Chains A and B, each alone.
Chain A
Amino acid sequence: MTTLDHSKPMTQSRTRRDFIATGLAAMAGAGLSAAFSPAFGQAVRPADRIRLGIIGTGSRGAGLATLIREMPDYELVACCDIIPENLQKGLSLAAQNAKGYTDYRKLLDDKSIDAVVIATPLYLHYPMAVAALQARKHIYLEKSMTYDIPQAIDLVKKVKASGLVFQIGYQYRYYGLYHRVKEIMKENWLGKITHFECQYNRNSNWRFPVKDPKMERAINWRMYREYCGGPLSELCAHEIDVVNYLTDSRPVKVVGLGGINYWKDGRDTYDNIRTVYDYPNGVKASVTSVLSNAYNGYSIRILGDKATVEILRDKALIYPEITNNAKGVVDGVTGATIAVTTQGKGVEVKFGKPGEAELEPTVFALKDFAECIRNKKEPISNVETGRDGSIAIHMGNAAADTEKVQYWKPEYSA
Chain B
Amino acid sequence: MQSRRQSIGPMMVVMCFVLSALRPSAVPRTYRITGQAQGTTYAITWYANLKSVTQAQIDSIFKSLDASLSIYQPGSLISRFNESETGIEMDRHLAQVVEKSMQIYRETGGLSDITVLPLVRAWGFGVKAADAMPDSAAIRLLMPCVGADKLKIEGSRLVKAVPCVQIDVNGIAQGYSVDVMARFLEAHAIGNYMVEVGGEIRTKGRKLPGKEAMKIGIETPSTTEFDAPGIREVITIGDGAVTTSGSYRKFRESGGLRLSHIIDPKTGFPVQREIISATVVAPEAITADGFDNALLAAGIDGAFEILRTHPRMEAYLIYRKPDGTVADTASAGFGRYIVPNADR
Give the CA-CA distance A7 to B199 in the complex, in Å: 32
B272 CB contacts on chain A under 8 angstroms: 4, 7
B134 CB contacts on chain A under 8 angstroms: 3
- Residues 221-262 of B, flagged 1 when their CB comes within 8 A of A and 0 if not, give 101111111110010000000111111111001111101000
A351 CB → nearest B CB, Å:
11
Decide: B40 and A332 in contact? CB cutoff 8 A.
no
B208 CB → nearest A CB, Å:
13
Decide: A340 and B228 in contact? CB cutoff 8 A.
no
Decide: B215 and A4 in contact? CB cutoff 8 A.
no
Contact of B249 among A3, A337, A341 (CB under 8 A): A337
Give the CA-CA distance A340 to B35 in the complex, in Å: 10
Q: Is A39 an interface residue (CB 8 A)?
A: no
Given contacts A189-B223, A331-B216, whether A336 and B228 have CB atoms under 8 Å apart is no
A50 CB → nearest B CB, Å:
32
Instruction: Give the A interface residue count (CB, 8 A).
Output: 36
Contact of A338 among B214, B242, B247, B249 (CB under 8 A): B249
Q: Is B43 an interface residue (CB 8 A)?
A: yes
Q: Is B33 an interface residue (CB 8 A)?
A: no
Q: Is A339 an interface residue (CB 8 A)?
A: yes
Given contacts A321-B228, A326-B231, whether A336 and B215 have CB atoms under 8 Å apart is no
Decide: B226 and A307 in contact? CB cutoff 8 A.
yes
Decide: B199 and A337 in contact? CB cutoff 8 A.
yes
A354 CB contacts on chain B under 8 angstroms: 254-255
Decide: A7 and B231 in contact? CB cutoff 8 A.
no
A 1-32 contacts with B by CB, 8 A: 1-4, 6-7
Q: Is A210 an interface residue (CB 8 A)?
A: no
Q: Is A306 an interface residue (CB 8 A)?
A: yes
Q: Is B198 an interface residue (CB 8 A)?
A: yes
Give the CA-CA distance A354 to B257 in the complex, in Å: 12
Decide: A338 and B40 in contact? CB cutoff 8 A.
yes
A 303-357 contacts with B by CB, 8 A: 306-307, 318, 320-321, 323, 325-326, 329-343, 347, 350, 353-354
B135 CB contacts on chain A under 8 angstroms: 2-3, 6
Given contacts A325-B228, A326-B230, whether A335 and B215 have CB atoms under 8 Å apart is no
A1 CB contacts on chain B under 8 angstroms: 254-257
A335 CB contacts on chain B under 8 angstroms: 199, 218-219, 229, 244, 246, 249, 277
B49 CB contacts on chain A under 8 angstroms: none
Decide: B231 and A330 in contact? CB cutoff 8 A.
yes
Give the CA-CA distance A333 to B243 in the complex, in Å: 10
A347 CB contacts on chain B under 8 angstroms: 225-226
A81 CB → nearest B CB, Å:
45
Decide: B229 and A325 in contact? CB cutoff 8 A.
yes
Closest to A190 in B: B224
Given contacts A329-B234, A330-B216, whether A336 and B249 have CB atoms under 8 Å apart is yes
A323 CB → nearest B CB, Å:
4
B168 CB contacts on chain A under 8 angstroms: none
Contact of B242 among A306, A334, A350, A353 (CB under 8 A): A334
Contact of A333 among B36, B40, B229 (CB under 8 A): B229
A 159-207 contacts with B by CB, 8 A: 187-189
Give the CA-CA distance A339 to B127 in the complex, in Å: 13
- Residues 295-337 of B, flagged 1 when their CB comes within 8 A of A and 0 if not, give 0000000000000000000000000000000000000000000
Give the CA-CA distance A3 to B274 in the complex, in Å: 20
Decide: A187 and B40 in contact? CB cutoff 8 A.
no
Q: Is B267 an interface residue (CB 8 A)?
A: yes
Contact of B225 among A2, A326, A332, A342 (CB under 8 A): A342
Give the CA-CA distance A347 to B227 in the complex, in Å: 12
Contact of A332 among B136, B194, B228 (CB under 8 A): B194
B194 CB contacts on chain A under 8 angstroms: 331-332
Q: Is B196 an interface residue (CB 8 A)?
A: yes
Decide: B201 and A332 in contact? CB cutoff 8 A.
yes
Give the CA-CA distance A325 to B255 in the complex, in Å: 32
B221 CB contacts on chain A under 8 angstroms: 336
Closest to A344 in B: B226
Q: Is B279 an interface residue (CB 8 A)?
A: yes
B223 CB contacts on chain A under 8 angstroms: 187-189
B40 CB contacts on chain A under 8 angstroms: 337-340
B260 CB → nearest A CB, Å:
11
- A residues sitting closer than 8 Å to B (CB atoms) are 1-4, 6-7, 187-189, 306-307, 318, 320-321, 323, 325-326, 329-343, 347, 350, 353-354
- B residues sitting closer than 8 Å to A (CB atoms) are 36, 39-41, 43, 45, 133-136, 174, 194, 196, 198-201, 203, 207, 214-219, 221, 223-231, 234, 242-250, 253-257, 259, 267, 269-270, 272, 277, 279, 344
Q: What would 24 A/B residue contacts be, using CB atoms closer than 8 Å?
A: A1-B255, A4-B255, A4-B257, A4-B269, A4-B272, A7-B136, A7-B269, A188-B223, A189-B223, A189-B224, A325-B231, A330-B231, A330-B234, A331-B194, A331-B215, A332-B196, A335-B199, A336-B246, A336-B249, A338-B40, A338-B226, A338-B229, A339-B40, A340-B36
